[in-house]
Amino acid sequence: MLKINIGEGFDLNAQIVMTGRGCVIGQSGSGKSYLVGVISEELCRNNLPFIIIDTEGEYRNLKSRFDAIWVSSDKASDLNFEVNYSGLLRKSIDDSIPIIFDVSDESDSSGLVSKVLNKLYELETEIHKPYLVIVEEADKFAPQVVRSKEMNIIEELSVRGRKRGIGLLIATQRPANVSKNVLSQCSYGFIGRMTIQNDINAIDILLEDEENKKILTRLNVGEFVSFGLGFNGMVRVKEREIRHMGETPPLSVQRKISSFDDIINDIRKSEGLVQKEVESIKADEPKKVQYKKEDEDIIEVQIMDSRYTIDDARKFAESKANSITNLLHKYEIESIKKIYLPAIYSKLHIPTKDNSTVKEGYSLIAFNDYIIKIDKESLEMYKMPKLNYKKSALTPQESSLLYSLRGYKKATPKKISELSGSEEKESKHMLNHLVDEGILDFDGKYYSLPPIENSYFYIPISFNSSFISSNDIAGSIKPSEAYKKIGLIFAGCKIEKSDTVYMPFFKATFRRKNKIKTMLMDPIAFKDRYNEFKNFV
Ligand SMILES: Nc1ncnc2c1ncn2[C@@H]1O[C@H](COP(=O)(O)OP(=O)(O)OP(=O)(O)O)[C@@H](O)[C@H]1O
């Protein structure tokens, strides 16, 4: 069963989330969007596609770690609202890429939401693939009081979406204002802190247990009472991996030290009372030309710790400059720069025979086509050959079948089907297919998976969150592609966690007249990697 973890001991069945009807309810600040954020991260990590109706512009930073399409009227977004919705949604469904439908700046957000969801409904009538719709501020998009008798698209989805594979997860502060057609369809959900009696009454249809209702007024931020999920007691939501953009701003220094008269004067100025006077003085002054420094995009990312500093790199480059310089050809160091290359860092669970122990391992996939493994003794970095599997990704069924096999050195199809709980005929068919693809070995009786080398595990590296300029990032990586590859290389293991991280490299440039040489030192073995990565830098 594919799971969505939202807190210690709280795993949601992904099937229920993707195709069921759920809700997150709680008063302002109870932690609803935070929980929706945690769920969204988990969906991204598991490559489960969804569209989130983002009313506050607080989900676009999912992009800092995952592939996601940000649709908004913001110039920096991937696509604007004029996009062909059908093409957009089809891509999202087929390639399992989430859409952040950011209507935070839109006056007609309901119109846009209705348009895109109608298109989804139409498309899924044909495709029938699990796809989740997450709606923030559901009271706005599916209100209880409406003039028209016609069903709103969210009501339509909640009543008729399931058969088409469409799941719905709504969030609201005001359940009393959400259409009963939608609320009554919710078979699971989370209720956070609530104190308004009218709203507590509105969830009567969801939470039958009187005891649970009493707890609601006492819940802390990030605590929820759940229903329909089989959890007893309170759910405490885990910490988000990506910074929550809807953070309550912290209270800072309350009052600038200024006199009361200045305060009154400032207010008057803003009313235009003394504005004229100020303007007439300004008019005589010569105009100053202002040079605006170009906006740099500073982003917060996870950076692999480096054993070396830029000073080490300079010393190394100097010694190198001497060695490539002879009396006739003198090269000078032109620049030393730190640049970052994106990589995927994964935590893996490797099953053992009796499943009593689970090994943890890490892999670094870098630069789309290569895997880098770091040997724990020598701290050597290897470049692995390109993969020659015919397949580009494993299906969830194949992954779970291989997971049953990984704990055993080899097993017969009968044993594997017993372990995985699938039909023998069906699993045999799948196993043979995997043999054809070069992923499994078969000796006529037993199937086996190639062993995983020990040097992949317990890599002694750590990461730190840091702010860097996006100008210093070279190369690019598609997390979803890398994720598929990790699944293939580590067939039979579960990817517990997978993040984009950045590896700092030191790039030294030497010049002699118009001839340039470049050196690229890695952060661990401090060897020149220029030949390996020259296409990226
Ligand atoms: N599980 C949690 N762990 C840590 N901090 C949390 C957690 N849940 C919420 N918070 C913090 O509490 C504050 C409010 O959370 P959130 O933005 O999710 O509220 P909300 O219920 O969506 O409010 P609103 O309805 O006003 O948007 C934020 O600063 C958030 O970072």
Q: Which of 182, 201, 236 is the C-terminal boundary of a domain?
A: 236
pLDDT-derived band at 280, boundaries 50, 70, 90: very low
- Which element (helix H / strand E) includes 364? strand 358-366
Q: Last residue of a domain, which of 185, 208, 236?
A: 236
- At 416-440, the pLDDT tens digits run 888 888 888 888 999 999 998 888 9
Q: Pick the last residue of a domain from 220, 236, 252.
A: 236
Average pLDDT of the segment spanning 97-110: 93
Band of residue 326 on the pLDDT scale cut at 50, 70, 90:
low
| pLDDT tens readout for residues 349-396 | 777 776 655 555 556 665 555 666 665 555 566 665 566 667 778 888
pTM, 2 dp: 0.54
Q: Is residue 292 part of a domain?
A: no
Atom 17, ligand 1: residue with shortest CA distance:
246
CA–centroid distance, residue 11 to ligand 1 (Å): 20
Residues 328 and 410 in one domain: yes
Range of the structural domain that residue 383 is part of: 300-533
pLDDT of residue 133: 98
How much is the pLDDT for 174?
Answer: 93
Nearest-atom index, ligand 1, CA of 239? 3
Residue 250, in any domain of the structure? no
pLDDT confidence bin for 484, thresholds 50/70/90: confident
Could you give phi then psi for residue 269, rounded to 5 degrees? -60, -45
Structure token digits, residue 26: 């709680």
Residue 168 CA to ligand 1 centre (angstroms): 21
Ligand 1 atom showing the smallest separation from residue 223 Cα: 1
Which residues, 6+ apart, have CB-to-CB distance to 240 below 8 Å?
Answer: 34, 37, 38, 41
Tell me if 252 is assigned to some domain.
Answer: no
What's the chain's average pLDDT?
81
Question: Whole-angstrom Cα distance, residue 490 to residue 439?
Answer: 10
User: What's residue 311's pLDDT?
Assistant: 87
Contact 135, 53 (CB under 8 A): yes
Closest atom, ligand 1, to C-alpha of 26 = 21
Residue ranges of the alpha helices (H) in 225-343? 260-270, 275-284, 310-323
CATH number at residue 92: 3.40.50.300
**CA 244 – ligand 1 centroid, Å:** 8
User: CA-to-CA distance for 17 and 26, rounded, in angstroms?
Assistant: 19
Percentage of the chain lying above the pLDDT 90 cut: 34
Q: Are residues 30 and 145 in the same domain?
A: yes
515 inside domain? yes
Atom nearest to 37 CA in ligand 1: 18
pLDDT of residue 140: 93
What is the CA(35)–ligand 1 centre distance, in A?
A: 8
Same domain, 63 and 189: yes
Examine the domain organization and report whether 474 and 352 are in the same domain.
Answer: yes
CA of 32 to the centre of ligand 1 (A): 6
pLDDT at 248: 64
Q: What is the DSSP string of 190-230?
A: EE-----HHHHHHGGGT---HHHHHHGGGPPTTEEEEESS-
State the total domains in the chain.
2
Domain-embedded: residue 67: yes
Look at residue 269 in the predicted model and tell me its pLDDT. 56
CA of 509 to the centre of ligand 1 (A): 47
77 and 208 assigned to the same domain: yes
272 located within any domain: no
265 pLDDT above the threshold of 70: no
CA dist 328 and 325 (Å) reads 8
pLDDT at position 253, please? 41
Look at ligand 1, atom 12, and give the residue with the nearest C-alpha: 31
Are 313 and 506 in contact by the 8 Å Cβ rule? The answer is yes
CA-nearest residue for atom 26, ligand 1, is 28
Residues 103, 201: one domain?
Answer: yes
How many whole angstroms separate alpha carbon 435 and alpha carbon 431?
6
Same domain, 482 and 388: yes
> What's residue 384's pLDDT?
59
* 370 and 452 together in one domain: yes
Distance 214 CA to ligand 1 centre (A): 21
CA of 180 to the centre of ligand 1 (A): 26
For residue 221, the CA-to-ligand 1 centroid distance in Å is 7
Q: Are 377 and 489 within one domain? A: yes
Q: Whose CA is nearest to atom 16 of ligand 1?
A: 31
pLDDT at residue 268 is higher than 80? no
Closest C-alpha residue for ligand 1 atom 27: 28
pLDDT tens by residue, 21-41: 999 999 999 999 999 999 999
Model ipTM value: 0.96
Q: Whose CA is nearest to atom 7 of ligand 1?
A: 222
Q: Is the pLDDT of residue 528 over 90?
A: no
Residue nearest atom 25 in ligand 1 by C-alpha distance = 28
CA–centroid distance, 243 to ligand 1, in Å, is 11
- In this structure, are 395 and 524 located in the same domain? yes
Query: What pLDDT is stored for residue 231 in this prediction?
Result: 81
Residues with CB under 6 A from ligand 1: 26, 28-34, 173, 221-222, 237, 239, 244, 246-248
What is the CA 407 to chain-centroid distance, rounded? Answer: 30
Residue 137 has what pLDDT? 95
Distance 30 CA to ligand 1 centre (A): 6
Q: Whose CA is nearest to atom 9 of ligand 1?
A: 31
User: How close is the Cα of 34 to the center of ligand 1, in Å?
Assistant: 5
Q: Could you tell me how far CA 387 lies from the centroid of its own chain?
A: 25
Nearest atom in ligand 1 to the alpha carbon of residue 30 is 21
User: Residues 231, 314: one domain?
Assistant: no
In-domain check, residue 257: no
Say what percent of the chain tops pLDDT 70: 80
b (16+ CB within 10 A) / e for 173-206? bbbbbbbebbbebbebbbbbbbeeeebbebbeeb
Give the number of the atom of ligand 1 that is nearest the alpha carbon of residue 58: 17
- Residue 198 sits in the same domain as residue 327: no
Interatomic CA distance for residues 398 and 286, integer angstroms: 73
CA of 385 relative to ligand 1 center, distance in Å: 45
> Is 124 inside any structural domain?
yes
Among 33, 135, 219, 220, the mutation site with the greatest number of ligand 1 atoms within 8 A of its Cβ is: 33
Q: Would you state the pLDDT for residue 120?
A: 96
Note the pLDDT of residue 294. Answer: 45
Substitution candidate for ligand 1 out of 221, 224, 239, 247 with most atoms within 8 A of CB: 221
